[in-house]
Amino acid sequence: MNWVLMLVLLVLACCAIYGYTKGFLRIVFSLVAWVIVLVFVSWATPHVSQWIQENTTIYEKIEAACEESVRRAAQGKMEEGAGEQYRAAGELGLDLPESVMAQIVSGASGAADTVLAETGVYAGIAQSLAGFIVQGIAFVTVLILSWILVHVISTLLGIVSHIPILKGVNRFTGMLAGLMEGLLIVWIAFYIVALCSAGETGRVIVSYINQSAFLKELYENNILLFLGTGFVR
């Protein structure tokens, strides 16, 4: 059972029902507010990301954690490969003491690790990962703050409460607008999943997404992901 697919369908269904009951005008206002927020977020994200990198230690901490994670993963792969070479040597009749083979394996792994570190491979990968994560943090932060600001302003002005619910409003159109809003919510969730895809939980969720053609299509064509990462390049 694909619980991610069920959850996404539930969100879309709830938003469609919400749009149907609230009517087209209220949903359109909500969507317009989303557009305003996304335009502002697109402009503000690179500035906030730059400020975070220049005025906090968040980037350095994330980069160090990423480099350590990449180094451990690479060392694990190298030791795995060295172990296979050890078994191959045994099959060829090279019967050296285990202590000697262990030193050879350790030396080979250490040499490869040193080469990768000195050539900047670890640092380069860590910088790319850290830049992507900080960009995502900036994007999500600005998105939340700007949406709160829009909500406060709309409440103070009484925009939502003064939009009349006219008789004969096309509820079907409201349902479609609700689906669009639900799609934005799903894309935000998938954006967060993409940021966490290097972790165990993120990998599990992505595996569920890949099991469904519908979810995979939404995940690979996430407009918010394009907006959030477009400034990295």
Q: What is the pLDDT of residue 91?
A: 52
Apex 154 CA angle, 34 and 184, nearest 5: 15
Which stretches of the chain drop beneath a pLDDT of 50? 89, 92, 94, 96, 100-101, 161, 167, 231-233
Q: What is the pLDDT of residue 233?
A: 45
pTM for the predicted model, two decimal places: 0.51
User: Residue 129 and residue 28: Cα distance in Å, rounded?
Assistant: 37
User: Residue 19 and residue 13: Cα distance in Å, rounded?
Assistant: 10
Apex 229 CA angle, 58 and 142, nearest 5: 60
Distances (CA, A) of 118 to 83, 115, 122, 131: 24, 5, 9, 21
User: Residue 127 and residue 180: Cα distance in Å, rounded?
Assistant: 35
Token code pair at residue 74: 């690479």
Task: Output the CA torsion sign for 47, 48, 54, 60.
Answer: negative
| Residue-wise pLDDT tens digits, 213-233 | 999 999 888 887 777 665 444
